Amino acid sequence: MQPPSAWWFAALPVAFVGVFFAWPLVNVLHRGLSQEGLDVLRSASTWRVVRFTTVQALLSTVLTVGLGLPAAYAVHRLDFRGRRLVMSLLTVPFVLPTIVVGAAFRALLPTSAQGTLVAIVVAHVFFNLAVVVRVVGGFWTHLDDRWEQAARTLGAGPVTVWRTVTWPLLRPAVLAASALVFLFTFTSFGVVLVLGGPTTTTLEVEIYRRTVQLFDLPGAATLCVLQMLAVLLVLVVAGRLQRRLTVTQRLTRATAATHVPRSGPDRAVLAVTLVESLLVALPLAALVAQSLRVGDHWGLDWWRALGTTGTTTRDVAAWDSVRVSVTYAVAAVAVAVVVGGAASCAIAYTRRGSALLDTGLMLPLGTSAVTVGFGLLITFAAAPVDLRGSWVIVPIGQALVAIPLVVRTVLPVLRSLDPRMREVAATLGSSPSRTWRTIDLPSLSRALGVGAGFAAAVSLGEFGATSFLARSDAPTLPVQIGRLLSRPGEVNSGQAAALSVVLVVVTALAVLVTEKLRRPSAGSL
């Protein structure tokens, strides 16, 4: 007994992604492959940007993996007091908006360090450490301990056990985490925009600069195409390496921390992890301190200034951006939940074409947010559909990024439902639509609530696409923070810090609500 009209569910997500993602992407490709756009590839400055983008991504990846492996081992394999707190400290940065991460390190680092490669790499390590801890640590908990025990029984020392047993088994997870970190840092925008300088520009920032400052749309489109090709190359190479290096093994059920750190190596790893967790807290502490530091004393002056209007006619009160962000987030969540929920149903209920539909819906998540925003900008800036002056273009761009997260949250729930329940309902005379309402919808509702929380967090912190699409008189929180940080003066930096703290709190509330909704159905998720 199949649920009703599976392809009816697919119609909405296919139409939405086709119109607002595929069509703009084709426009970007068309402009980027024009003769005017291809002239950008002959410029030496373009390849300097490509070289710096690649170098900083490689350095960020190597350092993140190197620092993340000890932490992944400690929080997933060692049993020590405060383990959950350390895990939270290490993973919280990843849910922060990138513009907040940039603002936090701008508050922490000395002025001489800002605009340098070191500042960008350190911020990227801070932001992406959670990827290694979660991906590698999660895989580590499934490894069968008997392999290591057998090696130790045969006289192998800790280094030999790691080199000959643990590392070969762990390589696929490390490679997967490395690929993710490289892609995140290669396409980084908010961090580089805030901490970078004239000689430390990445492809993302250069695309933004050519679009907003130089109005060079063909050149920006060419760089978008170049970036997409680079991302595709990384995914292909990483996939082939992962298949080649994978060792066939029997994974066990995930186990909690296995032993108390008594040996010297375990204690050393734990010490490194504790230091890392304390260092992770420093940028956020510096951000809060900057929001309260007024000259040579402490006060709430910057917080009070959030309610005042700036000196130019384009300025709006910083507090107004909170209202704007929440409004956009509500609209983006509504779109993401409806489209993502329909897509999840279509994938779960359809036998043929479900894999293709699933892959197609994941593409916006793997595409640079700057490319998404740029594509929407050039596609819907003229007839027949001109959305330049409409506020709806912003939540549409944010929803494109959030829909894959909703699908990944809801789909496992639908697939876990026992089909025999539907068969029993049909035997009792229930119609397909009524069966869906009584069997599937209750489970679907809670999963959609969790997906809505993730979508809200993404929408509130989204900066790449929104920086192209937001109107100057209605900036979101991240856009307003970026605007304040781009201006000199203690007043602007103090307000940016205060507004960043507000954004952290709002995002944290969305994540907390999501976790509360998630716990009761953790078994099904």
Per-domain residue ranges of the chain: 1-23+300-525, 34-298
Residues in a beta bridge with 294: 297
Spatial separation of the C-alpha atoms in residues 116 and 47, rounded to whole Å: 19
Asked if residue 448 lies in contact with residue 341, where contact means CB atoms within 8 angstroms, the answer is yes
Query: Dihedrals φ, ψ of 2, to 5°?
Result: -95, 150
Q: What is the pLDDT of residue 31?
A: 80
Model pLDDT, residue 57: 94
Distance from CA of residue 146 to its chain's centroid? 36
- The helix (H) or strand (E) run that includes residue 93 is none
Per the CB < 8 A criterion, the answer to whether 71 and 90 are in contact is yes
396-429 core/surface letters (b: 16 or more CB in 10 A; e: else): bbbbbbbbbbbbbbbbebbeebeeeebeebeeee
In this prediction, residue 440 carries a pLDDT of: 67
- Matching fold, domains 1-23+300-525 and 34-298: yes
**Long-range contacts, stretch 412-415, CB < 8 angstroms, 24+ apart:** 412/524, 412/525, 413/443, 413/444, 413/446, 413/447, 413/521, 413/524, 413/525, 414/344, 414/345, 414/348, 414/349, 414/440, 414/443, 414/444, 414/447, 415/348
Burial of 98 (0-12, 13-18, 19+ CB in 10 A): buried
Question: Six-digit token pair at 488?
Answer: 């000199």
**For residue 294, what are its two tokens?**
């007024």
Topology annotation, domain 34-298: MetI-like fold (1.10.3720)
What residues pair up with 297 in beta bridges, in sequence order? 294
- CA–CA separation, 157 vs 163, rounded Å? 10
pTM over 0.75: yes
Write the CATH number of the domain with boundaries 1-23+300-525: 1.10.3720.10
What local confidence, expressed as pLDDT, does residue 140 receive? 75
Among residues 258, 259, 268, 277, the alpha carbon closest in space to that of 82 is found at 277
pLDDT per residue, tens digit, the chain (525 aa), is 455 456 678 888 999 999 999 999 888 888 877 777 778 888 888 999 999 999 999 999 999 999 998 888 888 778 778 877 888 788 778 778 889 999 999 999 998 888 899 999 999 999 999 888 888 877 777 666 676 677 777 777 777 777 777 777 778 788 888 888 898 899 889 899 999 888 899 998 998 888 878 888 888 888 888 888 888 888 778 777 766 665 555 545 545 556 666 677 778 888 888 888 888 889 989 999 999 999 888 999 999 888 877 654 456 777 888 889 999 999 999 999 999 988 888 887 776 767 777 777 777 876 778 888 888 988 888 767 778 778 899 999 999 988 888 887 787 777 766 566 666 666 766 666 666 666 666 767 777 887 888 788 888 888 888 888 888 888 999 999 988 888 888 888 899 999 999 988 888 887 777 666 655 443 343
Torsion sign, CA atoms 111, 112, 117, 118: negative
Residue 268, both tokens? 């050393």
The pLDDT score that the predictor gives to residue 242 is 64
Closest-CA residue to 210 (of 393, 362, 36): 36
Residue 122's pLDDT is: 94
pLDDT of residue 331: 94
